[in-house]
Structure 1
Amino acid sequence: MQKNHKVSYFINFLGILVVFGIFALLFEGKAFGTSTQYIKGICTTACYTIIMVASLNLVVGCMGEFSLGHAGFVSVGAYASAIVSHALAGRGLPDIVLFIVALLAGGLAAGFTGVLVGIPALRLRGDYLAIVTVAFAEIIRVCFCNFPITGGGKTMSGILKLSGFYWCFWIMVVCVAIMYMYVRSRYGRTVKAIREDYIAAAASGINVTYYKVLTFTVAAFFAGIGGGIYAHYMTAMIPTNFNFMYSAELLSEVIIGGTGSFTGSIIGAAFLSSLPEMMRQFSQYRMLAYSVILVLVMVFKPGGIFGQWEFSLCRVLDKLAGCRRLLRKTVKGGA
């Protein structure tokens, strides 16, 4: 890793610490009064939604393929992590250890499912791939509706309440950071080359299927992590929660934020996941507002709000330093 990259990562990490400190002060100081716990819950929802949306962005933004079955991987991770945490409960493990083990189990289960789906499906492209992913998600949903271990179509309740905002925040930071570094690695650059020109990449000797399946599996793994956090926050699930509309909602958040931009995924997921709660008093207009936002973004910013742009605190500081130098030169020149 180059020295300037290390400095940039360190400065951005300090910025994340400041953001976390602000949230901690607001929540611990009861800044929102009786609504503090409610707002903390909305922020927790935003954290696991960000992981799901960012993982889908690996497929849509980095790989350039549309997946309409991402909720299937989320559901695999959610149910697998809930089953593992239930099996390990009462064995003397600290809650954080139990939580991490359950999340890793959910991620691995979703990643393995991603391999099984990706090997045959990723030989297809465009609309055909989208249709296959929809079919996969429906197959998973129907299976969960019939497996006794997942509730057999009824609500799976009694899941341990392990997801808290502070833990979820740092898990979200780690997951997004790993995905960001993956995109910037040689694997990510290779996948982007495949996205730009599939035929040229294959002709140059790149194993196109391998890199696409690898990226698809990484995306499924982190979707499973997000699903595990969801399960241990909601403490009850039903397979119909992970239907086609949930996949479409995640995809719309990717598109609104900007395909290829993790900054867009973070902002889009945080805003749109909290929008239903912010408009709870106007529940009959929630879907109308959601649709209006989609239409406005597609009309005025077809590439998404952020396009492929990424926010960097180091870049902001450089611009401020440049403005300061320019101001000093102007003042000296005027004097």
Structure 2
Amino acid sequence: MEYILHLSILICIYTMLSQSLNLAAGYGGLMSLAHAGFYGVGAYTTAILTTQFQLPFLFILPIAILINGLLSIIVASISLRTIDDYFIICTLGIQVIAFSLMNNWMEVTNGPLGIANIPMLNIGGYIFEDKFPFLLLTLSFTFIIHILISYIVNTSFGYTLRSLSEDELYTASIGKNIYLSKLTVFTLSGMIAAIPGVLYAYYISYIDPSSFTINESIFILSIAIIGGFRNLKGSFLASCFLILLPELLSFAGLPNSISANIKQIIYGTALVLIMIKSLKSQK
């Protein structure tokens, strides 16, 4: 039962991450490979503020969101000078820089040793010692983020984003500010990514740079792609699929070396099929 609760918490965390990326990539057309960096900033902010300053959750969460917002503006202002594939490469470079800082800034992040002894989550005197209450909390945040993003994409700004991702020239011709729209949606996406980062740090109670590599960014983007861009419910289903797949293969009794290869084959096949379906729908 504990293991099922653990997997459920991870599914919620990755659902939040993929939905936040879906806002930028699916609606804004900004395919980013820096999302694990924003995720990591949220986690490290939590670890540092709890272990060194003993700040409570209700202070840490808005601080982490604000820091991610400021960093997102900086990253966007650099990346948005490029377009299409160059934008992806630029965010890839920024992700590499973020990981390098986490891995080498010993005075702040403790480098590859990470930060341990993160205290249990405490809200109003209630300590989340067990997994079930923590699952309820992550479910609540997942639902709130889903509602928030659903609201954003159904406003006039959301329709501007849809138009922007389909045809920038047309969007500009009707008087919309392309740069400001992209900057705003990228910043919102990064700010939302801080929330699962905060929750992850409290849940695991130990973080290190290995959790926020480029592979993690690719994994988050893959969830968004498999779940379907502009499909927030699909992000949840894709998270379930990609997180539970290794567990199902292990239950099949296959050796780890074989199950890992089968996982990659299924994972790659799913991506190819989704991309083929996406290309057909655009014709």
Structure 2 contact 111–208 (Cα < 8 Å) conserved: no
Aligned match for 1:160, one of 110, 119, 141:
119
Q: For residues 268-295 of structure 1, what are the alpha-carbon distances to aligned partners after superposition, in whole Å with 9 as ceiling and x for unaligned?
A: 1122123233434543213422432431
Amino acid at match of 2:115: M
| Same amino acid, percent of matched pairs | 27
**Amino acid of the structure 2 residue aligned with 1:288:** I
**Which secondary structure state, in structure 2, belongs to the residue aligned with residue 161 of structure 1?**
coil
Aligned residues: 263
Alignment of 1:229-308 (within 5 A): 229-281=199-251, 282=254, 283-284=256-257, 285-296=259-270, 298-299=272-273, 302-303=276-277
Deviations 1:25-74 (A, max 9, x none): xxxxxxxxxxx111111111111111001011112110122111211111
Query: Could you say which residue in structure 2 is the equivalent of 1:127?
Result: 85
1:138-166 residue CA offsets vs partner (Å, 9 max, x unmatched): 11111122222211231211112327111
Distance 1:88 1:239 in 2: 21
Q: What are the within-5 Å matches in structure 2 for residues 94-173 of structure 1?
A: 98-147=56-105, 148-162=107-121, 164-173=134-143
CA distance in 1, matches of 2:261, 2:50: 35
Aligned-partner Cα distance in 2 for 1:41–1:274: 11
User: How far has the Cα of 1:172 moved from its partner?
Assistant: 1.2
Mapped partners of 2:177, 2:60: distance in 1:
33
> Are 1:259 and 1:303, in contact at CA under 8 Å, matched by a contact in 2?
no
1:88 Cα offset (Å): 5.0
Q: Give the gaps of 5 or more residues in structure 2.
A: 122-127, 129-133
In structure 1, what is the equivalent of residue 4 of structure 2?
Answer: 39
- Tell me the C-alpha RMSD between the 2 structures: 2.0
Moved over 4 A (4+): none
Q: TM-score, normalised by structure 2?
A: 0.86
- Residue 112 of structure 2 aligns to a residue whose secondary structure is coil
Mapped partners of 2:188, 2:261: distance in 1: 32
Write the distance in 1 (CA, Å) between the matches of 2:67 and 2:32: 19
Q: Aligned match of 2:21 in 35, 40, 56?
A: 56
Q: 2:242·2:267 contact (CA, 8 Å) conserved in 1?
A: no
Contact 2:111/2:209 (<8 A) preserved: no
Residues 178 and 129 of structure 1: CA distance in aligned 2, closer, same or farther (over 3 Å) = same
Counterparts of 2:94 and 2:270 in 1: how far apart (Å)?
31
C-alpha deviation, 1:241, in angstroms: 1.9
Distance in 2, matches of 1:137 and 1:294, equals 22
Whole-angstrom CA distance in 2 between matches of 1:248 and 1:140: 15
Listed one character per residue, the Cα deviations across residues 166-195 of structure 1 (whole Å, up to 9, x for unaligned) are 111101111121011111111111111111
Whether 2:165 is the aligned partner of 1:195: answer yes
Shift of the alpha carbon at 1:105?
2.2
- Which consecutive residues of structure 1, in runs of 5 or more, have no partner in the other structure? 1-35, 92-97, 308-335
- Structure 1 residues 204 and 294: CA distance shift in structure 2, 3 A: same
For 1:80, which of 41, 45, 48 is the aligned residue?
45
Aligned pair partner of 1:186 in 149, 152, 156 = 156
Residue 297 of structure 1, CA deviation: 5.1
TM-superposed deviation, 1:227: 1.1
- What SS is found at the alignment partner of 2:30? coil
Q: Distance in 1 between matches of 2:166 and 2:48?
A: 41
Larger Rg: 1
